[in-house]
Amino acid sequence: MRTRPLAELSARDLRPLLAEESEHWGGELFWDYADVSAAVASGLERGALSGLVLQDGPHCVAYCYYMLDGGRAIVGSVFAAEGFRGRRLEEGLLREVLAEAQGHEGPERVECQTLFSTAASAEDLFARAGFQSRSRHYLVRLLSERVETAPRAWRLRPVRREDLATAAHIIHRSHQGSLDAALNLTYATPAFCRGFVETLVLRAGCGRFDGEASFIADGPEGAVGVLLASHLSRTNGHVCQVSVLPSGQGRGVGAALMSAALAAFRRQGLETASLSVTLDNHRAYRLYQRLGFRLRKRFAAHAWVRPPARIELPA
């Protein structure tokens, strides 16, 4: 077996491995990964991705990549074909990719969320490379189970295109000083949050946007909460983001938004609902458990900044 830079291969070379990866995440996460695989192939052809591929003869059997985005390097999939897992091959690729991303002259920051990783010991590598990390859980709920109806003290309405700035404002305000904001640059500024919202709603950045299950919660003084939803597959609805302004937290806004989204998923005939949450977000985690969500996969969020800068995690 030999390791080669991604840049030396074509999308055609990688296609069988991408097809297997798409099937794998479809089974494990109920996520139709075909669009992501197509984006990886397109990025490879455009030279927008860096990383490494492990080949067994002419066959690509494992890969890991990163891309540059808004002053940071984002590490994507860490994936090995079924017959090559459990041999620390992915860990070897990840170690080299992290070193390359950290040594790249452009970005001052490297981030990764290991949801799409088949590496059993990935988390140890991030710690040794100087990353700050926190555990996250990917949760799934069967929609055949009854949906709890939350008291409607808040007026809910569908998210419209003209609500995108409002949604971004709520997401940014709700994350100020949070653990998620420290580890994910997406939440760091209003502009980053606006780009995130537009990616979800306008560019199918996390599955196909579901306008029927996405809501704004209005209170007496205006919008206080937002939930953005998508379809990750023909049978799985996903809560991409649920955020509540500090003034509305602890008052049932999140529960109302979640109940409405789950009811919408059921009306559409979907079979499951999914979301991800940081383990230290205790209030949100308790809500999701009460709503019937259960653990599907453990993963983690990791971030590193170039010294002497430091990532300060809230207590």
The Cβ of residue 9 has, within 10 Å, a number of other Cβ atoms equal to 15
Give 288: exposed, middle or buried? Use CB within 10 Å, 0-12, 13-18, 19+.
buried
C-alpha span between 127 and 129 (Å, rounded): 5
Contact indicator for 252, 259 with CB cutoff of 8 Å? no
Domain ranges of the chain: 2-130, 141-296
Closest CA to 107 of 309, 283, 248, 296: 309
Contact indicator for 277, 289 with CB cutoff of 8 Å? no
Q: What does pTM read for this prediction? A: 0.95
Q: Which amino acid is at 6?
A: L
Closest CA to 228 of 252, 264, 192: 264
What architecture does CATH give domain 141-296? Answer: 3-Layer(aba) Sandwich (3.40)
Q: How many Å separate Cα 91 from the centre of its chain?
A: 21
Do 2-130 and 141-296 come out as alike in CATH topology?
yes
Closest CA to 213 of 228, 203, 234, 199: 228
Q: What CATH number has the domain spanning 2-130?
A: 3.40.630.30
Contact indicator for 62, 80 with CB cutoff of 8 Å? yes
| C-alpha to C-alpha distances, 14 to 40, 76, 134, nearest whole angstrom | 10, 15, 31
User: What does the pLDDT read at residue 150?
Assistant: 65
Closest CA to 224 of 151, 284, 170: 170
Question: How do the pLDDT tens digits run along the chain, 315 residues long?
Answer: 999 999 999 999 999 999 999 999 999 999 999 989 999 999 999 999 999 999 999 999 999 999 998 789 999 999 999 999 999 999 999 999 999 999 988 899 999 999 999 999 898 999 999 999 999 999 999 999 888 776 667 899 999 999 999 999 999 999 999 999 999 999 999 999 999 999 999 988 899 999 999 999 998 889 999 999 999 999 999 999 999 999 999 899 999 999 999 999 999 999 999 999 999 999 999 999 999 999 999 999 999 999 999 999 987
| DSSP letter (8 states) at residue 293 | -
Closest CA to 138 of 306, 274, 280, 249: 274
**Helices (H) then strands (E): counts for the chain:** 9, 13
Cis peptide before 308 (omega within 30 of 0): yes
